[in-house]
Amino acid sequence: MARVRPRPTRVGLVAGGLGAYWPQFPALLPKLQQSAREVSARLSALDCEVVDVGFISDAQEGARAADRLRAADCDLIVGFLTTYMTASMLVPIAQRAGAPVLLLNLQPTEAMDHGTFDTGDWLAYCGACPLPEMANAFRRCGVEFRSVSGYLADERAWRRIERWVRAAGVRAALRTGRHGLLGHLYPGMMDVATDPTLVSAQLGGHVEILEIDDLRVRVEKVTDAETDARLALAGEVFTLDQSVVDEDLRWGARVSVALDRLVDDFALDSLAYYHRGLDGEQHERVGAGLILGASLLTARGIPACGEYELRASLAMLMFDRLGAGGSFTEIQALNFRDGVVEMGHDGPAHLAISARRPLLRGLGTYHGKRGWGVSVEFDVAHGPVTAFGLGQLRDGTFQFIAAEGTVVDGPLLRIGNTTSRVDFGRDPGEWVDAWSATGVDHHWALGTGHRAADLAAVADLLGIELVVVGPGGGA
């Protein structure tokens, strides 16, 4: 399965220093320009497209750089403070670029050689000097910014820089994304209901409203050869339990082909779906046959989830772009003997984060839903994980809500669900109370790794509050 290749994160880079220094210290500018080239190369290695507008020495050059970066439609603007420079050189860039701003203060090495350095050598280490000036000016101009200070080979600093680049990529995926809503809301799920306009207003992107017939007509056009090819793919990806009925698996494969076509035709980056149907008619069968295809889509980087859960599909998309996977999840039960929360969901799952080869199990009944067919069963890879959902306040404002834990070994249900045993470092009952008190809805994404710091960066770029439910107390 070939993963989708999103547009690379576009990072605009401008480096600068005060031009008054160049005639005074002729060796200084070449040294700073070399540092700027090193930063450009390191940024390019972070799987992003770097729009490098070069080195600026005064406000006029800064204004010209601002025009170039504005035209480039960057996802993140990086201003590299190589030495002292005035705020007037960078403020126009920050104001005009239309993208979040990251200021870098990376001196050449860990420390100066005090016994041999002259003034020109010192000025190459002076990037910290203008940082407070930039911060003051940016705040007074109403420009949000963040900064990373360190030295050129400082891997701690580069991990922080990489986090901001990844966060900018997530912001871009939301800002340009097309999110499908197929079918209708699961009746009575008041927490799941989401106003699509609020998604565009707060996160960006477009929500495409789809009918179940948009999928049905594509199912009807799938050929036997296409279905056979999808069956072969399912055999490569999944272990087939003996409970799988051949007819149900073939139907799921056929719906999967049609689902791919639907996603391509509407250029979707994510999908949330639900359709109830009635008495085994075609719409019910189409709705019940989505799990195989939705799981394959999710593994390719197009998150798909059930129950019309738009905010969960968005959380899954963000986790996928962070490299965390992101599987559709809810609480299943609490295990007070082992101190774990058992969580997962029937339906689609992110196959890339399974602890082992995922299983397809045949189900005669989808609990709480109409229809029958095949469902995915696995345990998320053992080790650190993060639960991540989008809450919504009374005024419609979204919140990011996260909790870091660890998936541990132990007995699991064998009912065609993804199921994981998560230790959040506290009594499971207390954790559930604290998690629920945040206002998160009852679905979210479960991803690999401890991602609170990554989510904090994404939240910062989007201007959204992040609430973290920790091990020691409440949120």
List, for residues 212-243, the tens digit of each pLDDT value.
Answer: 999 999 999 999 999 999 999 999 999 999 99
Say what the pLDDT of residue 417 is.
Answer: 78
Annotate the chain with three-state secondary structure: CCCCCCCCEEEEEEEECCHHHCCCCCCHHHHHHHHHHHHHHHHHCCCEEEEEEEEECCHHHHHHHHHHHHHHCCCEEEEEECCCCCHHHCHHHHHHCCCCEEEEEEECCCCCCCCCCCHHHHHCCHHHCCHHHHHHHHHHCCCCCEEEEEECCCHHHHHHHHHHHHHHHHHHHHHHCEEEEEECCCCCCCCCCCCHHHHHHHCCCEEEEECHHHHHHHHHCCCHHHHHHHHHHHHHHCEECCCCCHHHHHHHHHHHHHHHHHHHHCCCCEEEEECCCCCCCHHHHHHHCCHHHHHHHHHCCCCEECCCCHHHHHHHHHHHHCCCEEEEEEEEEEECCCCEEEEEEECCCCHHHECCCCEEEEECCCCCCCCCEEEEEECECCEEEEEEEEEECCCCCEEEEEEEEEEECCCCCCCCEEEEEEECCCCHHHHHHHHHHCCCCCCEEEEECCCHHHHHHHHHHHCCEEEECCCCCCC
Which residues in the chain are classed under CATH 3.20.14? 177-468
In this structure, which topology does domain 177-468 adopt according to CATH? Answer: L-fucose Isomerase; Chain A, domain 3 (3.20.14)
Query: What percent of the chain has pLDDT above 70?
Result: 97
Say what the pLDDT of residue 465 is.
Answer: 97
Return the higher-pLDDT residue of 416 and 281: 281
Q: How far apart are CA 109 and CA 329, in angstroms?
A: 46
188 Cβ neighbours under 8 A, 6+ residues apart: none
Let me know the angle formed at the C-alpha of 309 by 259 and 236, rounded to the nearest 5 degrees: 40
Which residues in the chain are classed under CATH 3.40.50.10940? 9-166
List, for residues 122-165, the tens digit of each pLDDT value.
Answer: 999 999 999 999 999 999 999 999 999 999 999 999 999 999 99
List, for residues 40-83, the tens digit of each pLDDT value.
Answer: 999 999 989 999 999 999 999 999 999 999 999 999 999 999 99
Query: Domain spanning 9-166 has what CATH number?
Result: 3.40.50.10940
Residue 473 has pLDDT above 60, yes or no: no
pTM over 0.85: yes
Query: What percent of the chain has pLDDT above 90?
Result: 85
Residue 367 has pLDDT above 70, yes or no: no
Residue 294 has pLDDT above 90, yes or no: yes
Say what the pLDDT of residue 414 is.
Answer: 81
Mean model confidence pLDDT for the chain: 94
Say what the pLDDT of residue 375 is.
Answer: 85
Residue 34 has pLDDT above 60, yes or no: yes
